[in-house]
Amino acid sequence: MKGKIKKLFLLSLLTVLALMFIYPFFWMIGGTLKPEIEVMNFSPFGSSWSLDSYRIMLGKIPLFRALFNSIIVSLISTVSVLVLSSMTGYALARLRFRGRSVIFNIILFTMVLPFQLTLIPLYVLMVKFGWVDTYAALIVPYTISAFAILLFRQFFMQVPHDLIDAARIDGLSELGILFRIFWPLSKPALITVGIIHYMGIWNEALWPMIVVRKLSMMTMPQMVALYAVGGQAESQVGTQLAAATLMSLPIIIIYLVLQRHFIASMASSGLKG
């Protein structure tokens, strides 16, 4: 009996807490559909509903262009990270070559290097390359990730050696072994790296704000942040929330579908420490 009461208490406590984490999003989405004067009301439901906030916002900023840019940048960068990092991870895990342990230590070192140190010099490099306001600036510095290399290395070390020997006897190249034997065996690692990297790039705001000035080259976080901060929104809260909603919905939908993978991936990313 006592246990039951305790469980009931904990359940109601958790429900209240969970509402604190979910309600703001309902309020945000509700706010985009309410008349502007009711946006700040506590209830997510208005006296009437319309898509005016979206219409007004989309008339002011080319958000679909930013959506397109976000997809291009996140997709290319993620594919590249999967391919190039797994190549490096495979070499570090399964091939004996000179300098291997030096490279491994360098990669560990880059993991602890604070980004604040290289932010400005990296921007200078983009200027020297003439990459400001191009996809190259948004993508190329994110084509390999040290975290992904280490994760792939860890994962690949557990693949039985017989498989490699057999593949070599069959005349497969090392790249063939990586993509035809190791990749199909490494779905959890690929999913983890894919989700974490895609999410990171999709949500990244600082780097685009440094290397992009042109409206047509902005990704969603930058365009939406500038819309909310600059004068364009004219303090119409509904339209700001509409921009935030359109930016969040794709990732929330993917999250709801792949929820378990998301949580497992993020947990493993933290624990590699």
Partner 1 sequence: MVSREQRAGHLLVAPYYIFFALFVAYPLIFSFVLVFHRWSIVGPLEWVGLSNFIELGGDPLFWKSIGNTLIFLIIHVPLQVSFALVLAAILNSKIPAQGVFRAAFFLPVVVSGVAVTILWKQMFSTNLGILNQLLYEFGIDPVPWVTDPSWAMPSIAMMATWKNIGLYVVLFLAGLQGIPRHLYEAADIDGASTVQKFFHITIPAINPVFVVVLILSTLGGFSLFIEPYVITGGGPMNSTLSGVLYIYRQAFSFFRMGYAATIGFALAFIVMTVVIIQRRFVEREV
Is 16 a residue that touches partner 1 (CB under 8 A)? no
Is 263 a residue that touches partner 1 (CB under 8 A)? yes
Shortest Å distance, C-beta 150 to partner 1: 12
Q: Which of these, 14, 9, 56, 49, lies nearest to 33 by C-alpha position?
A: 49
Shortest Å distance, C-beta 51 to partner 1: 19
Which is it for the CA torsion 268, 154, 85, 181, positive or negative?
negative
Residue list 62-81, contact with partner 1 (CB under 8 A): none
Residue list 31-60, contact with partner 1 (CB under 8 A): 31, 39-40, 42
Report the Cα 53 to chain-centroid distance in Å: 27
Total binding residues toward partner 1, as defined by CB under 8 A: 90
Residue list 93-112, contact with partner 1 (CB under 8 A): 95-100, 103, 106-107, 110, 112
Is 25 a residue that touches partner 1 (CB under 8 A)? yes
Closer CB to partner 1, 121 or 184, in the complex = 121
Residue list 163-222, contact with partner 1 (CB under 8 A): 173-175, 178, 199, 202-203, 205-206, 209-210, 220-221
Show the tokens assigned to 246.
Answer: 């359109």
Q: DSSP per residue over 170-232, as a string?
A: TT--HHHIIIIIIHHH-HHHHHHHHHHHHHHHHH--HHHHHH--SGGG--HHHHHHHHHHSGG
Torsion of CA 61, 64, 67, 73, to 10 degrees: -90
Q: Is 151 helix (H, G, I), strand (E, B) or coil?
A: helix
Is 8 a residue that touches partner 1 (CB under 8 A)? no
Closer CB to partner 1, 18 or 51, in the complex = 18
Is 125 a residue that touches partner 1 (CB under 8 A)? yes
